[in-house]
Chain A
């Protein structure tokens, strides 16, 4: 097991509220959290990809994790809601300023490409609507092999009873395909009172079709795998960066080839293969 993490705390411009969410997460025993910036491109107009706020601007002093002597670790994450394949831009420089990269596909086709192709860490499962598609075994297995994880968020289930039904139904449908592997449970909390403790989430995981051990992994070791996955992904894009410093023409030919290469290591990292 590794430390408990909540890789999805919703970003809000209200600094006090965000601070209290981070403090509550530390108090509940989470050692690592990620501030999530949502991005939902629409067809009509071009939108800016958000840029993450430096952590020290969000919170003055990082709170100490409950019962430990170390402060909480705060990361940044971007979630792109995809309703069209053009919404995810594989080499966008803006993505690089985030520690974690997630997509939320809205169609079966996009779900398939998210599982099989996109260079991402997390696939968000929608919990606010009845899923318009089934989770097919093949793409799910593909994602598991590549070390990409599926994320279920529970705070919608606290806010609203209809959402609760969708959350549980979609969770059970996901578990049928992935058998409890590569699943993380996060809050997507907007307010401190929407956060729940690690053991509460473990117990809630049983309702989602996870076993005791799988549910605990879903907030600890699987999250850790996600962080490692993200690090390798970022290092891989770092290679592209260095090649760019060389003279222009050769570099432009080389870059795409490199980027294909760097998708490979993500799939074969040993800690995810088990």
Chain B
């Protein structure tokens, strides 16, 4: 018995081309459905300093909160449900937990609470769930999805009491939790924060300017080559800027046909980032493109959290070796765009 050593775990890349002017474009849902974003990186070719409008959009990204050792049943607190879950969109994700090892929890803006539990915890909790899609023959992980806005989950309701008992007396889960709320911010989360040890965090912005970059033709370049090139730009691979790359070390070259960008700007922002803010950033980048020269383009890459129990919408997400779930939006002057959505082995196909 021997396993084929040539095989690699599954990966999926969805490539889509459309226009912002097309009424049926799905860009908004694609942006909004990736709930838990860790990092957004923007590449602005032929740009030397952050345009002021863009700067202000980036600095207005919502703050987020880290709650230490949050007992999970506090998410069922009546006051919290009323101020944060029923009104606006709440984003919550367990922090310092790993989806392929620990219990992980996500609270989604549509009021759904997703618990990805190991078998023991699932059985102890005694709440309805289903085995993880990625468990192969041994069912070691279970996913419990609870709609907190459902009538049975209203405080005092049957399901509510059952879950509350489960989380207080049988499975008293405690974990560090990242929280954010749109549009209420910290004020809406106050009922919960006031009982806990928490800290407020501002997404971190970093900017680098690049010079003399070889650049492929973004309209015609094939998706994998373009993503590789963009990855090389974001990781500062030098062979793209120098022609002297020795063949022995690396054979990576910029896809043909190529041009040279005399300069470019790379801006990234890190933290628990809300899709609403990302959407806002996309709008601002479109305005930026309208103001700039004809052949101009820009790219925006959004990385989801590796250990989130969900990727797009409520599609289950997991980690085999890496939990990549990200998309790259490539926008052009004429309002057309290309979007690349990528996921790894333990993920379903993006929308």
Direct contact of A and B (CB under 8 A): yes
Give the interface of A toward B (CB within 8 A): 1-4, 31, 67-69, 172, 175-176, 179, 199, 202-203, 206-207, 209-213, 216-217, 220-221, 271, 274
For chain B, give the interface size range. Answer: 20 to 34
Majority secondary structure of chain B interface residues (helix, strand, loop or mixed): loop
Q: How far is the CB of A31 from chain B (nearest CB, A)?
A: 7
| Residues of chain A contacted by B1 (CB below 8 angstroms) | 172, 175-176, 179, 209
A31 touches B176 (CB 8 A): no
A86–B269 CA distance with the chains assembled, in angstroms: 65
Choose one: B68, B138, B320; the contact of A221 (CB below 8 Å): B138
| Residues of chain A contacted by B347 (CB below 8 angstroms) | none
A199–B96 CA distance with the chains assembled, in angstroms: 18
User: What are the 7 A-B residue pairs with the smallest beta carbon separation, nearest first?
Assistant: A3-B101, A213-B136, A69-B96, A1-B100, A206-B3, A68-B96, A209-B1
Instruction: Check A221/B96 contact, CB under 8 A, given A209-B2, A211-B3, A212-B9.
Output: no
Give the interface of B toward A (CB within 8 A): 1-3, 5, 9, 68, 96-98, 100-102, 118-119, 136, 138-141, 176, 320-321, 345
Instruction: Check A31/B101 contact, CB under 8 A, given A2-B118, A2-B140.
Output: yes
Residue with the greatest number of chain B CB neighbours at <10 A, chosen from A2, A176, A202, A203? A2
Residue with the greatest number of chain B CB neighbours at <10 A, chosen from A176, A203, A210, A274? A274
What are 30 residue pairs bridging A and B, where the CB atoms are less than 8 Å apart in the complex?
Answer: A1-B100, A1-B101, A1-B118, A1-B141, A2-B101, A2-B118, A3-B101, A3-B102, A31-B101, A67-B96, A67-B98, A68-B96, A68-B102, A69-B176, A172-B1, A172-B2, A175-B1, A199-B321, A203-B321, A206-B3, A206-B5, A207-B5, A211-B3, A212-B9, A212-B320, A212-B345, A216-B100, A217-B138, A271-B119, A274-B138
Q: How far is the CB of B103 from chain A (nearest CB, A)?
A: 10
Q: How far is the CB of A203 from chain B (nearest CB, A)?
A: 8
A175–B345 CA distance with the chains assembled, in angstroms: 25
A220 touches B3 (CB 8 A): no
| Residues of chain A contacted by B118 (CB below 8 angstroms) | 1-2
Instruction: Check A210/B101 contact, CB under 8 A, given A1-B141, A199-B321.
Output: no
Q: How far is the CB of A21 from chain B (nearest CB, A)?
A: 21
Q: How far is the CB of B123 from chain A (nearest CB, A)?
A: 10
B321 touches A220 (CB 8 A): no
A220 touches B101 (CB 8 A): yes
| Residues of chain A contacted by B102 (CB below 8 angstroms) | 3, 68
| Residues of chain A contacted by B2 (CB below 8 angstroms) | 172, 209
Closest B residue to A200 using CB positions: B321
| Residues of chain A contacted by B139 (CB below 8 angstroms) | 274
Closest A residue to B134 using CB positions: A213
